[in-house]
Amino acid sequence: MIDFTGQVAVVTGAGRGLGRLYALDLARRGAAVVVNDLGGTMHGAGSDAAVADHVVDEIIDAGGRAVASCDSVDSPEGGQAIVDCAVATFGRLDVVISNAGIFNSIPFEQLSADDWRRMLAVHLDGGFFLSRPAYTVMRKQGYGRFVFISSSAGNFGQPMEAHYAAAKTGLVGLSNVIAIEGAAHGIASNAVLPTGFSRMVSETVRDERFLAESGFMRAIRPELVVPLVTFLASRNCPFSHRNYSACAGRYARVFVGLGDGWLAGDGAEPKAEDIEANLDAVSSTEKFIVPDSIVDEVLQVCHRRGISAMPDDAEVAFPEPGK
């Protein structure tokens, strides 16, 4: 059994839906859990402390340990308060599942600056405001696990969700850098793109017959997302810097690949017409790498060009790919 005994986890947006299920599973496996939820609507309005309190009661009634936090992730003070709650109550912080979010659907041409900023404030800013102080605690401990809840809406696109898609994909970039910088300190970071039935689905679709009769809606039980998130949050997870999708019991890696492309001749001055003439090679995905960082792209090009990434007398060299 994957065990979290002696560990402390923060789960944001843990009062309902998928977040609640993550918190319950971690607690069942021995973790002390900070159940964070402002208790607002799906669109981000209002607050209700009872939402987080109810999940805490569930955990305690089952013999676990938990504390409620109603601080909002959308400010530096809120993120710090959540981390402080974990450390003050349980003495450490091992796991952060960054799940808090809001949702609404707006056509791109009608998307206002306020709509844009509000969505990024909760998802992307919230991910940073929480992970920054949490990273400091984990670095001192020499151990930590981040799981950022991203979305296929961002990685693959979803109509009327430009603000949501941008915010969720931004979390992938945040996770990537935390993974790189945290590796030397025992900190791992990965992202999950979940598809699960929740109020985000029911309040968006609003067609009760479709929700009740659709085979897909019946297949995307939220419980099916939990195993992946729990594994990535655990000591048993041997890797970092990855993204995974969970949908209807199908679990799969999601990655950004870098194609081999077309290499212009040495000393050439390519023009737009050359790109057009070699578009098949430029666009090909048949041969690719999955870079561990931007360094891998630099090294790939240098290798193909037969050049050095750094001057021969440089004191600092690029690391080997994947190192």
- Token readout for 26 is 């971690």
Annotated active-site residue in 22, 135, 143, 164: 164
Please choose, from the candidates 209, 107, 210, 217, the residue with its C-alpha nearest in 3D space to the C-alpha of residue 162.
107
Q: State how far the alpha carbon of 46 is from the alpha carbons of 43, 57, 102, in Å.
A: 9, 22, 12
193 in Cβ contact with 217 (< 8 Å): no
Which run of H or E residues covers position 8?
strand 8-12
51 in Cβ contact with 69 (< 8 Å): no
Residue type, 15: G
| Alpha carbon distance 311, 316 (integer Å) | 9
DSSP state of 310: S
135 in active site: no
Residue 307, exposed/middle/buried by CB under 10 A (0-12, 13-18, 19+)? Answer: exposed
Q: State how far the alpha carbon of 160 is from the alpha carbons of 50, 104, 290, in Å.
A: 32, 9, 30
Residue type, 123: H
Rounded to a whole number, what is the distance in angstroms from the first to the last CA of the chain? 31
**Which position has the token pair 């898609």?**
165
What phi-psi label fits residue 76: left (phi over 0), alpha (psi between -120 and 50 degrees) or beta? alpha
Which residues are catalytically annotated? 164
